[in-house]
Chains A and B, each alone.
Chain A
Amino acid sequence: ADEAAGHDEL
C-alpha cells in the first residue's frame, strides 16, 4: 500500500 512508502503525517 502507498502508506508504507513513508508516513507524511505527524
Chain B
Amino acid sequence: MNIFRLAGDVSHLVAIIILLLKIWRSKSCAGISGKSQVLFALVFSTRYLDLFTVFVSVYNVVMKVVFLALSYATVYLIYMRFRNSYDSENDTFRVEFLLVPVIGLSFLENYAFTPLEILWTFSIFLEAVAIMPQLFMITKTGEAESITTHYLFFLGLYRALYIANWVWRYHMEGFFDQIAVVSGVVQTIFYCDFFYLYVTRVLRGKGKMSLP
C-alpha cells in the first residue's frame, strides 16, 4: 500500500458518498445517470467475487464490502426510492455498445482463462467506460449541478491517483499490471475534458457547469 493508492481509494469513497448523500438529501436523482450507477455496481460485483476466495487484508475486505453496499444503495435510490425523479429521457446512452466490446475484449485479453480472471478483466474494462452514460447525459442536458461535478471530480482524482500509484509500484516493487494500467489510462483520459470544464467553470464559482 502507498499513499497514492490510499488517497485514490479515499477519493473514490468520497465520490460515491457525495453522490449518495446528494440523492438522499435532495430526495431526487435528477441529472444522474442511473445507467452509469448500474454499470459501477456491476463493476464491483464482478471484480469483488474474490472476497470469497482470497483474503488480501482487512482493509481490502472492508473497502470492497463498503463499495458494494454503497453502489447498490445508490442504484436502489435511483430506480426504486426516487424513481419518479429519474430522468430517463436524458439517460439514453446505449450501454450495449459498451458491454459487447468489453465482454469480447475480456475473453481475448486476460491473465488466465478462468471465470474469476475473465470477470476481473471484464470489470477492469467496464470501469473504464462506465462513466460514459453520465458524461453523455451531461452533454445532452447541457449542464450538471455542481454536486454532480464534484462527484465526477473525485472520481477522476481517484483514477489520476491510481496512475501515480502504478508509477510508484513500478519503481518501488517492479509491479506492473498491464491490463489495469492500460484500461486505467484510457479511463482517466475520459475525465480530462471534464476536468477542464470543472476548473474553468465550476471552480470559478459559476455553481452549475453549463457546457458551451
A interface residues with partner B (beta carbon < 8 Å): 1, 3-4, 6-10
Beyond the given pairs A9-B177, A10-B60, 11 more chain A to chain B contacts, judged by CB atoms under 8 angstroms and listed by A's residue number, are A1-B111, A3-B180, A4-B112, A4-B117, A6-B56, A7-B120, A7-B177, A8-B56, A8-B57, A9-B5, A10-B9
What residues of chain A lie closer than 8 Å to B178, measured between beta carbons?
3
What residues of chain A lie closer than 8 Å to B54, measured between beta carbons?
6
Dominant secondary structure of chain B at its interface with chain A:
helix
Q: What's the count of A-B pairs with C-beta under 8 Å?
A: 31
The answer to whether A7 touches B12 (Cβ under 8 A) is: no
Residue of A nearest to B63 (CB): A10
Dominant secondary structure of chain A at its interface with chain B:
loop
The answer to whether A10 touches B117 (Cβ under 8 A) is: no
What residues of chain A lie closer than 8 Å to B5, measured between beta carbons?
9
How far in angstroms is the closest Cβ of chain A from B50?
A: 7
Q: What separation, in Å, do the CA atoms of A2 and B64 have in the docked complex?
A: 21
B122 contacts A by Cβ under 8 Å: no
The answer to whether B112 touches A7 (Cβ under 8 A) is: no
Given A1-B111, A3-B177, A3-B179; A8-B117 close (CB under 8 Å): no
What residues of chain B lie closer than 8 Å to A10, measured between beta carbons?
9, 12, 60, 63-64, 67
What residues of chain B lie closer than 8 Å to A1, measured between beta carbons?
111
What residues of chain A lie closer than 8 Å to B67, measured between beta carbons?
10
30 A-B Cβ contacts within 8 A? Answer: A1-B111, A3-B111, A3-B177, A3-B178, A3-B179, A3-B180, A4-B111, A4-B112, A4-B117, A6-B50, A6-B54, A6-B56, A7-B47, A7-B120, A7-B177, A7-B180, A8-B56, A8-B57, A8-B60, A9-B5, A9-B162, A9-B165, A9-B177, A9-B180, A10-B9, A10-B12, A10-B60, A10-B63, A10-B64, A10-B67
